[in-house]
Structure 1
Amino acid sequence: MPFDAWRLIGGHEVALDVDVLFGAYPDRDGPPGTPEAVLRTLAEHRIRAGAAASLRAALFDMRSGNDEVLGLAGPGVVPVGAVDLRDPIGSARELERLAAQGVRAVRLFPDEQGVEAGFPSVRHVAGRATALGLTLLSGGDVRRFWRPFAGLGATVVFLDTHFYHLGDFLVAAGEEPGFHTSTRLLNSPDALELAAAEVGADRLLFGSRAPHYEPLVPLLRLATGGLKPDEIAAVAGGNARRLLT
């Protein structure tokens, strides 16, 4: 009998996915990432809305890429700004512009931009974003990228926390109440349950990285894990709504 993931998922839905990208990577194979195609992918996986950032803004031009995402704001799209850590001065100006337009979150792309956790630009941008009341969505290995956010009072969602590194996230989050994590890579048998028990389900946010990752995997894990119904609802969008809207 073939494996039926949707039978296991049942009626579960996601109200807001914290990790959605519009656009394509120029140096790798993958989908074109047009807004229409991405939103169709989300709908096919019962994800009602995505917190979306622009790869154009991250890799080529901050302002035009961010403006494209802002123009798509609506029931299915919560715009997330993107900045270029290779240009910390320009990024700080862009943060001010985005905050003035009502954006609630900014996404950092250190791996794509070749930026390391110890670079001064990361701490500078994190401090400016925090001062403006923005939530930070950060890529990168949590074992290194927790440090530039520590002590700032920042609200951060680590988008690349792997279940192999969950212990490091939990230790850091125990000292930093603003630290949260995406569930995208927490696919071991007990990762979600352990994280919820240690720091609370209110620190976990569903992320899929659609269309550059398979949304079915984190959705299946959330639906079949041991979290309580109210915890599942929080992870599947309640927490993201609180931080991003």
Structure 2
Amino acid sequence: MTENDVKSLKNILFIDIETVSQEPDFDLLNEPLKSLWLKKAGYLQSKEKEVLPDHLFYLNRASIYSEFGKIICIGVGGIVFDENLEPSLRVKMISGESEAEILKQFKRIVEKHKAGKNLLLCAHNGKEFDFPYICRRMLVNGISLPTILQISGKKPWEIKHIDTLDLWKFGDHKHYVSLELLITIFGIPDGETEVSGDQINELYYKEKNLLKIARYCADDVILLTQLYMKMNDWALINENNIEVLLK
């Protein structure tokens, strides 16, 4: 790894978000949102040829759409180096009941990062999910976007975002490839938290287990970082050099 590689890695924040439906039950939506969700759900079920009761389809799918979901956790990871240029990964979890406070904390982190204007954000499928979702929920919560998320009118090479899915496509835009699949084919050790994305709503609303969700999110940040290392032909970060701050 060259000194330029070290410099570039120190300027990257690896991120992942966890989202849930805005309400724990479809019937708790206000009437305008309920009506608008039914319109969207009707279109989606028709397109996908999947028919579920309204309340189940809402719980299964609403979290994916920023208009009907909300962010409950953001994981942020950064790489630091010791005097021997050995990398360590520090992962900070931002979670809680207040979406606005989560987003404000995330904004403070990116605005105060020592990389300044050289800061880069990296996520898997970030261009289609994490980055726009964060932007939309910030605006809904009345939070101005930090500079790094202000992409309107910018040329592609001016946008400081890295997407590992985009890197893997090599210009082929035919299909989605999950983070799970990529870490499997690259032989990257999986996370310890036995949670899947479709369990987040239940963990949040029924089990009230935000800590378990945060651990799952932290695992994804670690896997994302290791995948980026692999995709650049660098050695994986030693697991003994990975620290997670859950609170």
Q: TM-score, normalised by structure 2?
A: 0.29
Name which one, 1 or 2, has greater alpha-carbon Rg. 2
Which one scores higher on RCO, CA 8 angstroms, separation ≥ 6?
Answer: 2
